[in-house]
A and B are shown apart, each in its own frame.
Chain A
Amino acid sequence: MVRRFGPSLALLLAALGAWQGVASLAAVDDLTLASPLEAAGALRADWTLLMENAWITLVETLLGLAIAVVGGALAAVAMHLVRPLRDAAYPLLVASQAIPLVVLAPLFVLAFDYGIGPKLAIVALICFFPITVNLLDGLRSVEPELIKLMRSLGASRLMTLRKVELPASLPSLFSGLRVAASVSVIGAVFGEWAGAEAGLGRLVLLGNNQLQTPRVYAGVVLLTVMALALFAAVSLAERAAVPWKRHGGAT
């Protein structure tokens, strides 16, 4: 642990120190740049408020991610099993990445109102692509020899899917999940910016408008921690689900 993350931690501390130094200069006022200590102070002072809003953002993120996992897995399996569907949908799926989802957020708010709906939609849309594409690639890259073997053993198409293709593509699914987990929080924040009554994203936006710079920084720190925690949770889940691959992180 220390050996792996020690250098990063040292660099982070150095950056924080430099930041603190610059922020403490007489020429820099607190509105322009709050120092790390001020951010920490806000974190302590506004802890309850921050936590209440963080919880809302976390729920949006997790639900959106869950929708993306279910939808993405179903889409990938359907595209894998039905070749014409894949040929038709795959280019569209890739092209859909050109749509700036961020600017769609206000449209979702118009469509779904201010509730949790538009946030879930944005998170799910952002996470859908990496999950679907990675799982589909995983399903397609199963060794042809294994498929032949299963045919020879008399396995049905679905049995081959369940016993060979899906387990074999778990590492790919987790690669997609890791990407999805790290962008999911961004999705929730954009969803909240487009219109929300609560959430860390809204708090940050509000704090910015109200010139509460330290609170904004405190919110950013919490959002970062949330994304890192999600990433770590996915990595842990991968270790549990794919024990036959020791370091799945590299693929």
Chain B
Amino acid sequence: MTTKLEALRSEPPSLAQEGVAFEGVGRHYSSRRGDTAALEDLDLRIGNDEVVSVVGPSGCGKSTLLELAAGLQEPDSGAVRVAGSGAPAGRLERTAYMPQRDGLLPWRSALDNAALALECGGVGRAQARRRARPLFARLGLERFERALPGELSGGMRQRVAFARTLLAGREVLLLDEPFASLDSITRAGLQEWLAAILAEEPRTVLLVTHDVEEALYLGDRVVVLSARPGRVVAEIAVELRRPRPRRDVVTDPAFSALRQRALEALAW
């Protein structure tokens, strides 16, 4: 089972020694009303195969953080490195970005949407489909291969989007509020689903969310950002055993204590 996903990685693990590093990163946007600082002097390191959740008030630059790591934006000051590479092209190559809304193309079937990740890498459509199929089965999506996104529930759409992210075969996954659009029951289900996948195939993950519980449940570490301009105000190590059945975890007093700490940091 493990080998199937392992084979999707394009780079040997030795290249991924560094994970992701933000060093004194600043980013501001200029508009007619003047400069807005999204991030200021931000330091953050994500180790290899570590899942780091970032929480913060809305507008604290969480999405900017992801786009910086993805190589879709450049910092105005400081440096962003992914697996040692600071160049935008290097970051683009090493990361897979999952946008906030699923980003599924409505004219492509679920399988073809996931296979898009391979097609963009130059693989032909038929071949891409063939290679996407085993992962689809593994993620419990085989019955939905031919469904169009419009025919899928929100939860299923997110699964397909995640399948596409995995198929890109990158070392680092960048997830932008992946479950924000879902109702709380579906969201809980998908959190367990994602946790199970990551427990089986560890990946370096930077997960942005506004849901403290989700951050704590999925992350090895939770980073709390301040309001704009975003900087790190707290880092909380989540030392809960894995795999974590969600029901057991959220009722665990240790979990409640962590949540309390995170919420206090957010209010700070």
Q: Which residues of A contact B (CB under 8 A)?
A: 143, 145-146, 148-155, 159, 163-164, 167-168, 242-245
Contacts and interface: CB of A to CB of B under 8 A. Distances in A.
A145 B120 contact: no
Interface core residue of B95, B97, B100, B120 (most chain A CB under 10 Å): B120
A153 B168 contact: yes
Interface stretch (B43-51, B102-110, B180-188): B102-110
A151 B72 contact: yes
B150 A152 contact: no
Contacts of A154: 92-93, 120-121, 168
Interface in B33-81: 67, 70-72
Interface core residue of B71, B117, B148 (most chain A CB under 10 Å): B117
Contact of B103 (A145, A243, A244): A145
A150 B96 CA distance: 10
B119 interface: yes
Given A152-B70, A244-B148, A146 B120 contact: no
Contact of B119 (A152, A163, A167): A163
Contact of A167 (B97, B105, B120): B105
B51 to A, nearest CB: 19
B218 interface: no
A152 B97 contact: yes
What 10 A-B pairs have minimum CB-CB distances, sorted nearest first?
A: A153-B120, A152-B97, A155-B120, A244-B106, A145-B99, A149-B103, A244-B107, A154-B120, A167-B107, A148-B72
Contacts, number: 57
B116 interface: yes
A151 B107 contact: no
Nearest to B167: A153
Interface string B190-221: 00000000000000000000000000000000
A182 B99 CA distance: 40
13 contacts: A145-B101, A151-B72, A153-B96, A153-B120, A153-B121, A154-B120, A154-B121, A155-B120, A159-B119, A163-B120, A167-B105, A168-B105, A244-B150
B167 to A, nearest CB: 9
Interface residues of B, number: 24
B124 to A, nearest CB: 13
A164 B70 CA distance: 20
Nearest to A146: B103
Contact of A148 (B97, B120, B168): B97
Nearest to B103: A149
Contact of A152 (B96, B100, B101, B106): B96
Contacts of A164: 105
A145 B150 CA distance: 18
A154 B67 CA distance: 14
A23 to B, nearest CB: 52
Nearest to B121: A154
Nearest to B168: A153
Given A145-B99, A145-B103, A153 B150 contact: no
Given A145-B99, A163-B119, A152 B92 contact: yes
A30 to B, nearest CB: 56
A152 to B, nearest CB: 4
A145 B100 contact: yes
Nearest to B105: A164
Contacts of B120: 150, 153-155, 159, 163
Given A145-B101, A244-B148, A163 B72 contact: no
Nearest to B97: A152
B72 A152 contact: yes
A163 B116 contact: yes
B141 to A, nearest CB: 19
Contacts of A148: 67, 70, 72, 97, 99
A154 B101 CA distance: 19
B64 to A, nearest CB: 12
A143 B100 CA distance: 12
Contacts of B101: 143, 145
Contacts of A167: 105, 107
Interface in B227-263: none
Nearest to A152: B97
A245 B105 CA distance: 12
B74 to A, nearest CB: 13
Contacts of B116: 153, 163
Contacts of B97: 148-149, 152
A178 B67 CA distance: 39
